C-alpha cells in the first residue's frame, strides 16, 4: 500500500500550540495537555508583547519564538517542521486562547485508532450553545462552500483543534502565512483525495472576552480566496478548430 493508505498506529505524538498574547490562558493549556497521555508540547509564540513565552516554558513546553507577529500560518509551518524532525507519528494542534479543552485530545487519538483517517478536525457544531450567531452562520456557510466546490464535508472548517498524521504533512502544506493556512490545508487534502473527518469537541467561549483572532467575515473571505486560487472561474472556452 502507498504511504497514504498504510495503517499506522500512533505511538508518539506532539501537541502544537500557536499563541499570540495569550498570557491569561497558556499556562492552563500547556499543563492540561501535559496531564494527558505522555506527549511533547511545543508552543510557537507569535511575537507576543506579553509574557506568553515565559509562562509556556514554566509550564513545561518547548517554546519557539517568532521575532514578530508573522501569522498563524507561518507559526504552524514552523511548528510542523520541528515536529516532523522529532519523528512524532502525529501532531495535535490546540489553540492557545483557552477555547479548546486539551482533555479532549484523547478523542482524536481514539478516532484515528478506529478509522485510520489521517486528518481529523474538531467539530463544535453539534452543540452551539454559547457560540455567537455570526460564528455559527459563518461556519455553516464555509461548510457548504467546501462541500460544494471540493466535495469535502467538514462540519466546522475554521476550527483550530486538529489532528494530523505527520506522514501526510508534506502533501497538504500551504504557503499561506495567516489564518487562510488552515483553509488551504483542507483544499489540498481534497485535491489529493486524502481522507478528512470530524471529531466532536466542546464549544467554549469565554465570557467577557472582547477580542477574537479571526472575524467571521474575514474567515469567509479567506476561504473564498483560497478556493478561487485552486478553482479559478473558467474562462470562456475557445471553440475547437474543425478538422481540415
Give me the domains of the chain, ranges plus CATH numbers: 10-205+213-230 (3.90.550.10)
Please tell me the distance from the alpha carbon of residue 143 to that of residue 112, in angstroms, as a whole number: 22
What pLDDT is stored for residue 113 in this prediction? Answer: 95
| pLDDT band at residue 223 under the 50/70/90 scheme | low
Q: What average pLDDT score do residues 101-110 get?
A: 95
Q: Is pLDDT above 80 for 30?
A: yes
Helices 26-35 and 52-59 pack at an angle, to 10 degrees, of 20
What pLDDT is stored for residue 124 in this prediction? Answer: 82
156: exposed, middle or buried (Cβ count in 10 Å: 0-12, 13-18, 19+) = buried
Q: Report the 10 Å Cβ neighbour count for 205.
A: 14
Q: Is pLDDT above 90 for 238?
A: no
How would you label 103-142 residue by residue, b for 16+ Cβ within 10 Å and e otherwise?
Answer: ebbebbbebbeeeebbbbbbbbbeeeeeeeeebeebbebb
The lowest-confidence range among 121-125, 136-140, 190-194 is 136-140
Reduced to 3 states (helix: H, G, I; strand: E, B; else coil), residue 127 is coil
- pLDDT over 90, % of the chain: 50
Reduced to 3 states (helix: H, G, I; strand: E, B; else coil), residue 38 is coil
What pLDDT is stored for residue 110 in this prediction? Answer: 95
Q: What average pLDDT score do residues 123-142 get?
A: 70
Q: What average pLDDT score do residues 24-36 get?
A: 95
Q: Is pLDDT above 90 for 120?
A: yes
Q: Is pLDDT above 50 for 130?
A: yes
Q: How confident is the model over 2-25, as pLDDT tens digits? A: 445 566 788 899 999 999 999 999
What pLDDT is stored for residue 36 in this prediction? Answer: 83
Reduced to 3 states (helix: H, G, I; strand: E, B; else coil), residue 199 is strand
pTM summary value: 0.81
Q: What is the CA radius of gyration of the chain?
A: 19
Residues 149 and 124: beta-carbon distance below 8 Å: no
Q: What average pLDDT score do residues 26-41 get?
A: 92
Please state, in angstroms and as integers, the Cα–Cα distance from residue 110 to each residue in 107, 113, 163, following that order. Answer: 5, 5, 11
Q: Look at the alpha carbons of 102, 106, 107, 111 in this order and tell me if their dihedral is positive or negative.
A: positive
Amino acid at each position: 500500500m502507498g504511504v497514504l493508505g498504510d495503517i499506522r498506529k500512533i505511538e508518539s505524538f506532539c501537541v502544537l500550540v500557536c499563541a499570540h498574547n495569550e498570557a491569561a490562558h497558556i499556562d492552563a493549556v500547556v499543563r492540561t495537555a501535559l496531564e494527558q497521555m505522555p506527549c511533547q508540547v511545543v508552543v510557537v509564540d507569535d511575537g507576543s508583547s506579553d509574557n506568553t513565552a515565559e509562562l509556556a516554558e514554566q509550564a513545561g513546553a518547548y517554546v519557539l519564538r517568532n521575532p514578530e507577529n508573522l501569522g498563524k500560518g507561518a507559526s504552524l509551518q514552523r511548528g510542523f517542521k520541528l515536529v516532523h524532525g522529532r519523528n512524532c507519528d502525529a501532531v495535535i494542534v490546540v489553540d492557545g486562547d483557552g477555547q479548546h479543552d486539551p482533555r479532549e485530545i484523547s478523542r482524536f487519538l481514539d478516532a484515528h485508532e478506529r478509522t485510520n483517517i489521517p486528518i481529523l478536525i474538531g467539530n463544535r457544531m453539534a452543540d452551539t450553545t454559547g457560540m455567537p450567531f455570526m460564528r455559527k452562520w459563518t461556519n455553516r456557510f464555509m461548510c457548504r462552500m467546501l462541500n460544494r466546490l471540493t466535495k469535502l464535508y467538514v462540519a466546522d472548517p475554521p476550527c483550530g483543534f486538529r489532528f494530523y498524521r505527520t506522514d501526510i504533512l508534506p502533501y497538504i502544506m500551504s504557503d499561506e502565512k495567516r489564518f487562510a493556512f488552515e483553509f488551504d490545508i483542507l483544499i489540498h487534502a481534497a485535491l489529493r483525495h486524502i481522507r478528512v473527518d470530524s471529531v466532536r469537541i466542546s464549544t467554549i467561549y469565554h465570557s467577557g472576552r472582547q477580542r477574537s483572532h479571526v472575524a467571521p467575515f474575514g474567515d469567509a473571505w479567506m476561504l473564498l480566496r483560497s478556493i478561487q486560487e485552486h478553482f479559478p472561474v473558467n474562462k470562456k472556452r475557445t471553440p475547437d478548430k474543425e478538422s481540415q
